[in-house]
Amino acid sequence: MAHTLRIIDVQDVTHDVKQFTLEKPDGYEFEPGQATEVAIDKEGWREEKRPFTFTSLNDDEYLQFVIKIYPEHDGVTEQIGKLKKGDSLILDEPWGTIQYDGEGVFLAGGAGVTPFIAIFRDLHENGEIGNNKLIFSNKTEKDIILKEEFEEILGDNFINAITDEEPEGDHIFLDGFADKDFLKSQIDDFDQPFYVCGPGPFNDAMMKYLKELGANPDALVFEE
Ligand SMILES: Cc1cc2nc3c(=O)[nH]c(=O)nc-3n(C[C@H](O)[C@H](O)[C@H](O)COP(=O)(O)OP(=O)(O)OC[C@H]3O[C@@H](n4cnc5c(N)ncnc54)[C@H](O)[C@@H]3O)c2cc1C
């Protein structure tokens, strides 16, 4: 069933990522990490559905998404980037993407971190963040989504890799994607859950190295 829901707040998260808060319909339920198809409630856009992951938790009184805007696609996210409070989005029912299957290592490339946000928020709220680790790869420092929040939730288990500029502080410079040596330097146990989400080439590289290192990773291809 489709739900037409009003946007009640829009915030900038980074230079090209925005957070949208929406009304929540009665009885709408979802798990951390689940996504739904979203369309814009405007002439010509209602049939153009794209998947986005909830970043709010099921108990929250609102729905929330963190969405990267790609003006170069001339697609839905370019239009979503123009939406304001009072505009509406059309949502389908929730469906599963990446599911939390116990303490492990999360590897995210850019906006591929979005399916992990609700998982971390949920674990944090329940005091169960444990030793979960996020290795987050971005082109530049200004691309890091929710840096302060991840630092607070994960502490030293929040590892930032930067590929296209000299990194700040303890962030690590990587010339290209994380490779096997980098993964070995950051991870001491490959017999634990691994969660991978990023662009296709990022996922392909991470899956290949993790498998070679003996892991059995779970992956979500976020964009081609
Ligand atoms: C399960 C799932 C959950 C997701 N959750 C989130 C989320 O929470 N937040 C978020 O920000 N994103 C999320 N995404 C990604 C998001 O769905 C896409 O970024 C979005 O669909 C892009 O829509 P668009 O209309 O802007 O681009 P589209 O026009 O649909 O383009 C889609 C794809 O076409 C290609 N493409 C089109 N034009 C160009 C171009 N000019 N240059 C290069 N490539 C191009 C790219 O491969 C691009 O990924 C999720 C994806 C999946 C599969």
Q: What domains can be seen in the chain, in order of their start residue? A: 3-91 (2.40.30.10), 105-223 (3.40.50.80)
List, in order, residues 6 or more apart from 8 with CB less than 8 Å away. 21, 22, 23, 62, 85
Least confident of 34-43, 95-104, 142-151, 187-196: 95-104
Q: Is 111 in the pocket of ligand 1 (CB under 6 A)?
A: yes
Q: What's the pLDDT score for residue 224? A: 53
Q: Average pLDDT, stretch 172-196?
A: 93
Q: What is the mean pLDDT of the chain?
A: 95
SS3 (DSSP) at 224: coil
The pLDDT value recorded for residue 223 is 64
Q: Is the CB of 116 under 6 A from ligand 1?
A: no
* Ligand 1 pocket member 224 (CB < 6 A): yes
Residue among 115, 165, 121, 173 nearest 142 (CA):
165
- Cα gap 106→115, rounded to integer Å: 10
pLDDT at residue 84 in the model: 98
pTM of this structure: 0.94
Q: Which of 56, 63, 77 to mutate to test the pocket of ligand 1 (most atoms within 8 A of CB)?
A: 77
The CA 168 to ligand 1 mean position distance, Å, reads 29
- Whether the CB-CB separation of 166 and 142 falls below 8 Å is answered with no
Closest ligand 1 atom to 50 CA: 21
How many angstroms is it from 68 CA to the middle of ligand 1? 8
- Whether 197 shows a pLDDT value over 60: the answer reads yes
For ligand 1, the distance from its centroid to the CA atom of residue 188, given in whole angstroms, is 33
Closest by alpha carbon to 119, among 128, 111, 110?
128
Beta bridge partners of 160: 136
Q: What is the pLDDT of residues 20-72, one digit of tens each?
A: 999 999 999 999 999 999 999 999 999 999 999 999 999 999 999 999 999 99
Atom of ligand 1 nearest to the CA of 69: 26
* C-alpha 221 – ligand 1 centre gap (Å): 10
Q: How many angstroms separate the Cα of 210 from the Cα of each of 172, 191, 223?
A: 19, 10, 20
Cβ of 50 below 6 Å from ligand 1:
yes
